[in-house]
Structures are given as C-alpha cells and as structure tokens.
Structure 1
Amino acid sequence: MLLAAFTTLRFGELAALRPRDVDLEGLTVPVRRAQAELQDGRLFDKAPRSAAGVRSVSFPAELLDAVTQHLEHFAAPGRDGHVFVGPQGGQLRRSNFRDDWVKARKAAGVTDELHFHDLRHTSNTLASTAGASTRS
C-alpha cells in the first residue's frame, strides 16, 4: 500500500516488480513492465502502453525500512521473484487481491468508495503538491 500511495504505480506495475528492480540506495523503482491477465487466466508481463510509461519513480526515504523489510520477509525468493505475492507465494491477481483489499479496507473502517487505484491519485496529489510532474 505504501508504494502504491507514494509512487503513482498502477496495480499491474506493482504486480510485475522484481526485487532487482528496487534501488534501495537511490530510493527508486524503474517501471519497465506491467502484469496483464489473459482471458484464460494466464498472467504475463508486458511493456507499458507507451514510451512515457517506461519511467523511474522515487519513493520517500521514510519508506526505506518498510520496503527493505518487505523485500527480506515477504517477496518471492531471488532477484527475479516477484516483490508482491499472494499468501501462498503465487503471483498477485486482481480478482484475489480485490477480496483482500475489501477486507483490509473494512478492518480499517474505510468506506466502500475507496478503490486501490485511488492510491495512485493520492500519490499524484502528493507529487504535485511537492512540485513534481504527474505525467506518466
């Protein structure tokens, strides 16, 4: 949730992240791919829709400990595993993630009107308030 709220990354971009993508020293995450799902349920990584979609995004130094701990304890093993995986280690799927999102949202007492994609809007607002460009 923290990377979604502070980096403008879309669900598919987060789902496609690998540990080798996360630059802990530079506090950046390059966006080179996004996860997509075929109608038969197969998942694959694809290039962003446009050249503007290939970019590097920064995350605040305040997230460094949380990101480091996540990579050490929750990411799939190896540099090519996925940063974010399901409870049994499989790739994230929108349909399964949505159930967890609704459960977490309800536990936090947040209204039904908050969608995961709204975190991207939050990130864009924070970036523009800080003077950064929100184009991507």
Structure 2
Amino acid sequence: MQAEPETQEKMPRPLPVDALWVRFVFVDHAGIPKAKAVHRDSFEGRASAGVGLAKGVLALDPSGALQPESGLSPVGECRLVPDLSTLTALPFARGQAMVSCDMTEPDASTPWEGCPRSALKRVLG
C-alpha cells in the first residue's frame, strides 16, 4: 500500500461560514462528475469515516441505466473519503461547498482499485 500524499489533510479545516451543505464530489468511469451532499452538522464525522456509495453508481450511463459490461453491480459498497485540501466554497451555489473524494474499501482506509481519482494519481505520478 502506498503512503498517503502529504497534501491530503487529516483534520477537517473550517467550513466556509455560509456553507450549510458540503458536496462529496467524485467522477464516474464515464468522466461524469457526481456528488453526495452532507449537512454541515455531519461533516466532521464524515470527513474521517467517509460516505457510503454503491459501486454500481460508477457504471451508470447518462440515462441512469447500469451498464452490465462494467462488471459493477448495485451490490457492494465503497466509501467516499474527502481530500480536505480540496475543500472550497461554491461561488455559484449559495450555502454550499465541495470537496474532492477518493474511493476506499468500506474500512475507509484501504484504497478501492476502481477509484478513478486514484488511477489518475498513479498515472500522474
């Protein structure tokens, strides 16, 4: 297992003052950005434990149909664990912030092999 990048923060940094919701953002296998929203009251706990996500969500086409050739199904979960160094207010969405996420196994620490963001990090070195 590789060491975590030094840029990934461990402790939640302060949320933007007016942020009521934080979008946990990820990109699926088709390059479509998606998110799950977390209320600010739950953010600190979710920053370390992550948010659950069915692995099959990464294989949904734009119409919402699951692509069977992906090998993913609605059964099985990964966790969206935020990279807190990316936390930022959304200037176009009042009261909202976003954070980019890595996908892990359900233990929230083991990287999931199907994570597009982790694959990009490996390619970029």
Report if TM-score (shorter chain) is over 0.5. Answer: no
The answer to which structure, 1 or 2, has the higher relative contact order (CA under 8 A, 6+ apart) is 1
TM-score by length of 1: 0.28
Q: Could you state the TM-score of these two structures normalised by the residue count of structure 2?
A: 0.30
Between Structure 1 and Structure 2, the one with more strand by share is 2
Structure number with the higher helix fraction is 1
